[in-house]
């Protein structure tokens, strides 16, 4: 029984990171119908920038904030320079553009930072906490709390604030939103900044556990993408549940089935979901314009 | 595209392949050339899928892996000759494409992309993790095709690099010829119709699911053939050949050069194969330049480089 | 269509003419390393070391008066690219020797090219298949992974362990070492009762370690892997409060590992390392001491990082190459190859190298030292 608890705790920790990445995918997808394959790079930037500003002498919280703000800026640039000029392009083009962006960001990180692995100290130490016969790192609690805080914050933002509702309106129907006076360009910029900031936060929270280097982005993007698909692309609730569920499935696969194929679990689940429930767990039924 | 254009395309390709060696300063260029042709072959298949039929696949390198590994494992475990193994690989890929394609092709857009991505990743995982059979992540040796030796006995003495340049070039020409034929056939026209609008195609009686599957299977066979050529040429293969990055490279090559045409595909393959070689001076910046090229081309020349230049030179009067 | 095809053809032709090298009277040496990609951890110190040594040698006047011209390419761990670069090195750049092949996959791709072009190749990869069976034109400097297993098992036997658990990375290095360890365990009376795998980029290995912790009678645990994985495994090991003695592989033999895994978590870990890591602890009569200290003195201030065994492999490869060229008195590849094979008693950072026609590695188990991490520092056990 304590085994199962350990597997679950491990799954939830990793899953929380996937959830943050999936949330980032969701926001951008909702705003612009684009799946941003560079999402994983935001996580990498969050971690790397924090590492280097911390090493340069800034206190850790400040370094983290600097990282999040800078990464949000990168997100805005990505939108302005790569996504907006390609509005209306076919899906294949957009996929290539965002993958190209992810490669580009990785290349810049490689040159500006370095190719080594890095870490900074955990926020509240490394002493494991015992929970029902299993242990969890304090940093894992930070990661989980972070994911929940982001989700709650986004929920409040989208339902209680005017700006948030403007974002939802734009996602629903761009033309109609413009007609009622919403500045859709501003909404797009905001969405990208938000999504990048969330990714960066994920990176900041998780680096003390998993370390960071310039090329961690692509693996994270794939998993986060799988999580978003699992929950239903475009649904924030789905992103959170999809992420945590994916993490747990992976941990249970490693624990009970085969640690060899743990990574395969994510993709097998995705394919299964796509066939059984193509719109994900929280299906938003979709119609096709003929 | 008329029959005239088909002939011109083939002639241009053949001429390039035949004439280029005159400019080669060293044997190294034969190697680069044969890689361009192998990649080109895989990408011609992608053109049939993406350009003709309008579908996406982010996992086609899985078929490359299948074609490559059958050439390694077939002779090892079944005792067959590598050439038979290559054919076996193509058949295996076709079957897998048929099985996997039937349910997957019902999906569209990003969902289709992700499902194909999942397929490709699973193939490369199995190839990597079943080390006892496949040699694992460090790869496995592939036996010699034997054709060069036969030619040598017949009196035609070619170096390894020269032989593969010619052989891959011929394979590419064959592949291009087939693809161009498909374009003008009823199948090709139906594919193009379905690319334009699936619903409209269905209303005029086109069997959309069957056609999509055909395009998927055909492009899988192309990928498998390319994989076999790669394995036989290198006499060695690793699971990277089936990996996600390789799939992305294939899609990028197709779209970069112009997903609608065979020549565009070869051009895209050439650019992405030759660019890293030219950029070795800037090796630190390779990712930066590659990412930039991908983004800039897709934003400013969304149809691909070749068609866009062609249109501009002809003066937008199409 | 016609104009664009012509343009396409012209561009193709021009780009293919691209880099045309000029012939010079120098010693041309080539390298294909994985400075980027998953094996960058290994490739970066290798590249830095080779560049540093070439500069040092050229500043001192070169070899027998001739300067070295270094051609160095980054294959990113991709064996296809490695083969292309190897072809480029021998055909286009005209090198007389190749050093490199950071990963086993890259090495296996370079070997046939070197053999066909009759150019000697010194590999920096670990798998035993590189030199067993012996290929005439391929040599290597790192210990084989089989030797690492043997060194660890000798130590385990000494401490009376007969039942152990393994946790290995699924990358080439981890998979190869796992296979070798499972192969030779019988010779040391060791039984592997739990055998777990993790992905090299995984964030959390607690499921696998939990299974190991709960397996009955496990006396020690061995982690075969390199890079990020072992650091995470080590942290998880401490998190789960697993008390069994923990062994790592030579894949993490660098100061970076202790930093990443953390001082507390890495306390008491043993692994087979080379003299390079414990340079200051060597006795003054140890032949390796001056060599190792010299390397440290050149490398550390130049690159601001502590030395690692991987850079050491490259150092030894270059030493052997330079020494062979001097002894051969010629820069013809065939002569260099013969001289490499006759290397005898050359003191490197990895060990004292003596090659022969049947041994293209030249090291034995004594070159490995069993190290233990105490208080964030390396100490020698035996």
Q: Tell whether B276 lies on the interface with A, counting CB pairs under 8 A.
A: no
Report how far Cα B145 is from the mean position of its chain's Cα atoms: 20
Q: Tell whether B29 lies on the interface with C, counting CB pairs under 8 A.
A: yes
Q: Return the domain boundaries, chain B.
A: 3-18+37-314
Rounded average pLDDT over B42-58: 89
Nearest to C358 by CA among C345, C374, C371, C341: C341
Asked if pLDDT for residue B147 goes beyond 90, the answer is no
Q: Tell whether A213 lies on the interface with C, counting CB pairs under 8 A.
A: yes
pLDDT value of position B184: 83
Residue A2 belongs to a domain: no
pLDDT value of position A163: 84
SS3 at position B140 = strand
**Contact, A63 vs A54, CB < 8 A?**
yes
3-state secondary structure chain C: CHHHHHHHHHHHHHHHHCCCCCCCCCEEEEEEECCCCCCHHHHHHHHHHHHHHHHHHHHCCCECCECEEEEEEECCCCHHHHHHHHHHHHHHHCCCEEEECCCHHHHHHHHHHHHHHCCCEEECCCCHHHCCCCCCCEEECCCCHHHHHHHHHHHHHHCCCCEEEEEEECCHHHHHHHHHHHHHHHHHCCEEEEEEEECCCCCCCHHHHHHHHHCCCCCEEEEECCCHHHHHHHHHHHHCCCCCCEECCHHHCEHHHHHHHCHHHHCCCEEEECHHHHHHHCCCCCCHHHHHHHHHHHHHHHHCCCCEHHHHHHHHHHHHHHHHHHHHCCCCHHHHHHHHHCCCCEECCCCEECCECCECCCCCHHHCEEEEEECCEEEECC
Residues A126, C40: C-beta atoms closer than 8 Å: no
pLDDT value of position C12: 53
Q: State the Cα–Cα distance between residues C338 and C230, nearest whole angstrom.
A: 39
**Contact, C167 vs C212, CB < 8 A?**
yes
Distance from CA of A121 to the nearest CA of C (A): 10
At what angle are helices B28-46 and B208-234 packed, to 10 degrees?
170
Q: Which residues of C242-251 are buried (b: 16+ CB within 10 A; e: fewer)?
A: beebbbbbbb
Q: State the Cα–Cα distance between residues A251 and B199, nearest whole angstrom.
A: 43
**More confident of the two residues B153 and B315:** B153
**Contact, A217 vs A40, CB < 8 A?**
yes
Which pLDDT tens digit goes with each residue over B4-22?
Answer: 778 888 888 898 888 888 8
Q: State the Cα–Cα distance between residues C289 and C296, nearest whole angstrom.
A: 11
Which range has highest mean pLDDT (B26-30, B248-252, C246-250, C300-304)? C246-250
Q: State the Cα–Cα distance between residues B300 and A37, nearest whole angstrom.
A: 20
Please classify residue A123 by burial: count the beta carbons closer than 10 Å to its beta carbon, then call 0-12 exposed, 13-18 middle and 19+ buried: middle
pLDDT value of position A106: 92
Domain C145-273 CATH class label: alpha beta
pLDDT value of position C24: 45
CATH 3.40.50.2300, chain C: domain bounds? 2-143+291-367, 145-273
Name the residue facing C3 among B141, B230, B310 (closest C-beta): B310
Give the residue ranges of chain C where pLDDT is below 50.
Answer: 1, 4-6, 8, 13-24
Confidence band of A284 (pLDDT split at 50, 70, 90): low
Which pLDDT tens digit goes with each residue over B124-139?
Answer: 999 998 888 898 888 8
Phi first, then psi, for residue C347 (nearest 5°) are: -90, 115
Complex ipTM, two decimals? Answer: 0.87
**Pairs across B and C, CB distance < 8 A:** 134
pLDDT value of position B233: 92
Nearest to B190 by CA among B304, B302, B48, B307: B48
Phi first, then psi, for residue A233 (nearest 5°) are: -60, 125
Contacts of B103-110 spanning 24+ positions with Cβ under 8 A = B103/A275, B104/A274, B105/B55, B105/B209, B105/B212, B105/B213, B105/B216, B106/A278, B106/B209, B107/A274, B107/A278, B109/A91, B109/B56, B110/A35, B110/A91, B110/A233
Rounded average pLDDT over A175-186: 84
pLDDT value of position A278: 63
Residues A255, C36: C-beta atoms closer than 8 Å: no
Asked if pLDDT for residue A196 goes beyond 50, the answer is yes
DSSP annotation string for A94-119: HHHHHHHHHHHHHHHHHHHS-SS-B-
pLDDT value of position B172: 94
| Chain A residues lying within 8 Å of B294, measured CB to CB | 96-97, 99-100, 103-104
Structurally, at CATH architecture level, domain C2-143+291-367 sits in 3-Layer(aba) Sandwich (3.40)
Residues C262, A126: C-beta atoms closer than 8 Å: yes
Q: State the Cα–Cα distance between residues C21 and B26, nearest whole angstrom.
A: 10
Q: State the Cα–Cα distance between residues A252 and B257, nearest whole angstrom.
A: 44
Asked if pLDDT for residue B280 goes beyond 50, the answer is yes
Rounded average pLDDT over A255-265: 84
Rounded average pLDDT over A157-181: 83
pLDDT value of position C330: 86
Residues 6+ apart with CB under 8 A from C272: C143, C147, C148, C151, C152, C249, C250, C253, C368, C369, C370, C371
Quick check: pTM over 0.80?
yes
**Distances B111 to A225, B244, C4, C130 between C-alpha atoms, Å:** 11, 16, 35, 43
Q: Tell whether B2 lies on the interface with C, counting CB pairs under 8 A.
A: no
Asked if pLDDT for residue B299 goes beyond 90, the answer is no
Name the residue facing A259 among C40, C44, C208 (closest C-beta): C208
**Contact, B118 vs A275, CB < 8 A?**
no
Confidence band of A290 (pLDDT split at 50, 70, 90): low
End-to-end CA distance of chain A: 54
SS3 at position B40 = helix
Residue A270 belongs to a domain: no
pLDDT value of position A128: 87
Distance from CA of B311 to the nearest CA of C (A): 8
**Residue C63, CB-side half-sphere exposure with 13 Å CA sphere:** 24
Which domain does A238 fall in, by range?
A: 20-249
Which pLDDT tens digit goes with each residue over A51-77?
Answer: 999 999 999 999 999 999 999 999 999
SS3 at position A277 = coil
> In chain B, which residue's Cα lies nearest the Cα of A84?
B299
CB interface of C with A, residues 250-309, below 8 Å: 256, 259-260, 262, 264-265, 305
Distance from CA of C382 to the nearest CA of A (A): 31
Q: State the Cα–Cα distance between residues B250 and B264, nearest whole angstrom.
A: 13
Token pair 């590598």: residue: B82
Q: State the Cα–Cα distance between residues A110 and A99, nearest whole angstrom.
A: 16
**More confident of the two residues A116 and C353:** C353
pLDDT value of position C234: 95
Residues 6+ apart with CB under 8 A from A183: none
Give the count of beta carbons closer than 10 Å to the beta carbon of residue C140: 25
Q: Tell whether B263 lies on the interface with C, counting CB pairs under 8 A.
A: yes
Q: Tell whether B31 lies on the interface with C, counting CB pairs under 8 A.
A: yes
Confidence band of A199 (pLDDT split at 50, 70, 90): very high
Q: Tell whether B129 lies on the interface with A, counting CB pairs under 8 A.
A: yes
Residues 6+ apart with CB under 8 A from A161: none
**Distances B178 to A114, B28, B75, B213, B222 between C-alpha atoms, Å:** 47, 29, 28, 18, 10
Rounded average pLDDT over B203-226: 91
**Domains of chain A: total:** 1
pLDDT value of position C17: 46
**Pairs across A and B, CB distance < 8 A:** 123
Q: Tell whether B136 lies on the interface with A, counting CB pairs under 8 A.
A: no
Which range has highest mean pLDDT (A236-240, B253-257, C108-112)? C108-112
Please classify residue C163 by burial: count the beta carbons closer than 10 Å to its beta carbon, then call 0-12 exposed, 13-18 middle and 19+ buried: middle
Q: Tell whether A128 lies on the interface with C, counting CB pairs under 8 A.
A: yes
């Amino acid at each position: 029984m304590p085994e199962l608890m350990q597997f679950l705790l491990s799954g939830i920790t990793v899953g929380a990171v996937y959830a943050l990445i999936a949330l980032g995918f969701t926001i951008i997808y909702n705003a612009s119908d684009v799946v941003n394959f560079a999402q994983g790079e935001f996580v990498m930037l969050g971690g790397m920038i924090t590492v280097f500003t911390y090493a340069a002498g800034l206190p850790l919280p400040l370094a983290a904030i600097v990282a999040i703000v800078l990464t949000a800026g990168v997100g805005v640039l990505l939108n302005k320079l790569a996504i907006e000029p390609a509005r209306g392009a076919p899906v294949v083009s957009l996929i290539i553009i965002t993958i190209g962006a992810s490669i580009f960001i990785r290349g810049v990180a490689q040159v500006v930072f370095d190719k080594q692995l890095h870490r900074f100290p955990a926020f509240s130490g490394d002493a494991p906490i015992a929970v029902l016969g299993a242990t969890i790192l304090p940093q894992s609690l930070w990661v989980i709390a972070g994911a929940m805080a982001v989700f709650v914050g986004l929920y409040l933002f989208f339902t209680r604030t005017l700006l948030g509702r403007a974002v939802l309106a734009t996602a629903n129907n761009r033309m109609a939103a413009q007609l009622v006076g919403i500045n859709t360009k501003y909404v797009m910029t905001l969405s990208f900044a938000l999504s990048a900031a969330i990714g960066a936060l994920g990176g900041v929270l998780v680096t003390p556990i998993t370390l960071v280097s310039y090329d961690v982005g692509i693996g994270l993007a794939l998993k986060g993408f799988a999580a978003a698909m699992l929950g239903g692309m475009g649904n924030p609730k789905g992103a959170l549940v999809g992420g945590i569920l994916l993490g747990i499935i992976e941990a249970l696969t490693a624990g009970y089935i085969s640690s060899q194929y743990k990574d395969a679990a994510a993709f097998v689940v995705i394919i299964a979901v796509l066939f059984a429930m193509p719109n994900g767990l929280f299906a938003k039924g979709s119609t096709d314009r003929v | 595209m008329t029959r005239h254009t088909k002939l011109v395309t083939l002639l241009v390709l053949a001429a390039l392949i035949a004439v280029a060696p005159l400019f080669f300063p060293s044997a190294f260029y034969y190697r680069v050339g044969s890689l361009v042709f192998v990649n080109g072959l895989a990408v011609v298949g992608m053109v049939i899928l993406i350009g003709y039929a309008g579908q996406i696949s982010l996992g086609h390198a899985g078929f490359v892996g299948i074609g490559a590994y059958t050439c390694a494992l077939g002779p090892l475990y079944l005792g067959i000759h590598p050439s038979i193994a290559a054919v076996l690989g193509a058949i295996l890929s076709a079957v897998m494409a048929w099985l996997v394609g039937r349910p997957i092709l019902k999906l569209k857009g990003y969902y289709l992309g992700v499902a194909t991505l999942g397929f490709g990743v699973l193939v490369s995982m199995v190839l990597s993790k079943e080390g006892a059979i496949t040699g694992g992540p460090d790869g496995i040796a592939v036996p010699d095709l034997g054709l060069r030796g036969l030619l040598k006995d017949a009196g035609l003495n070619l170096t390894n690099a020269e032989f593969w340049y010619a052989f891959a070039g011929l394979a590419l020409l064959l592949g291009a010829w087939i693809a161009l034929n498909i374009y003008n056939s009823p199948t090709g026209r139906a594919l193009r119709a379905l690319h334009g609008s699936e619903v409209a195609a269905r209303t005029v009686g086109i069997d959309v699911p069957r056609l999509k599957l055909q395009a998927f299977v055909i492009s899988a066979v192309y990928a498998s053939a390319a994989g076999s050529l790669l394995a036989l040429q290198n006499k060695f293969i690793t699971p990277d050949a089936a990996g996600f990055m390789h799939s992305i490279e294939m899609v990028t090559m197709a779209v970069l050069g112009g997903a609608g045409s065979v020549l565009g595909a070869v051009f895209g393959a050439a650019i992405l194969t030759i660019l890293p070689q030219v950029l070795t001076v800037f090796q630190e910046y390779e990712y930066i330049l590659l990412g930039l090229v991908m983004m800039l081309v897709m934003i400013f020349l969304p149809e691909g480089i070749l068609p866009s230049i062609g249109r501009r030179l002809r003066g937008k009067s199409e | 269509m016609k104009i664009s095809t012509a343009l396409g053809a012209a561009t193709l032709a021009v780009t293919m003419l691209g880099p045309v090298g000029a012939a010079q009277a120098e010693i041309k040496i080539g390298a294909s390393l994985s400075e980027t990609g998953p094996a960058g951890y290994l490739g970066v110190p290798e590249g830095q070391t080779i560049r540093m040594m070439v500069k040092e040698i050229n500043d001192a006047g070169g070899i027998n008066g001739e300067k070295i011209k270094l051609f160095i390419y980054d294959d990113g761990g991709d064996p296809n690219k490695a083969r292309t670069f190897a072809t480029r090195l021998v055909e286009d750049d005209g090198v007389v020797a190749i050093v490199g092949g950071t990963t086993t996959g890259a090495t296996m791709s370079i070997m046939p090219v070197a053999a066909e072009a009759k150019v000697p190749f010194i590999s920096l990869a670990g798998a035993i298949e590189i030199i067993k069976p012996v290929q005439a034109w391929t040599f290597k400097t790192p210990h084989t992974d089989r030797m690492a297993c043997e060194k660890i098992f000798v130590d385990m036997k000494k401490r009376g362990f007969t039942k152990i658990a393994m946790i290995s990375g699924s990358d080439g290095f981890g998979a190869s070492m796992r296979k070798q360890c499972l192969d030779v365990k019988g010779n040391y009376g060791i039984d592997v009762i739990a055998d777990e795998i993790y992905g090299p980029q995984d964030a959390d290995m607690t499921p696998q370690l939990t299974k190991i912790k709960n397996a009955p009678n496990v006396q020690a645990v061995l982690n075969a892997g390199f890079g990020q994985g072992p650091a995470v495994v080590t942290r998880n090991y401490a998190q789960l409060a697993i008390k069994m003695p923990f062994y790592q592989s030579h894949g993490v033999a660098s100061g970076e590992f202790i930093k990443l895994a953390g001082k507390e978590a890495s306390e008491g870990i043993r692994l087979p390392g080379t003299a390079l890591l414990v340079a200051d602890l060597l006795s003054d009569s140890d032949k390796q001491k001056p060599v190792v200290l010299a390397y440290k003195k050149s490398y550390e201030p130049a690159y601001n990082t502590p030395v690692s065994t991987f850079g050491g492999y490259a150092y030894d490869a270059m030493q052997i190459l330079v020494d062979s060229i001097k002894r051969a008195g010629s820069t013809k590849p065939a002569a260099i190859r013969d001289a490499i094979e006759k290397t005898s008693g050359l003191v490197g950072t990895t060990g004292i190298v003596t090659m022969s026609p049947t041994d293209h590695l030249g090291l034995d188990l004594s070159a490995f030292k069993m190290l233990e991490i105490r208080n964030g520092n390396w100490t020698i056990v035996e």
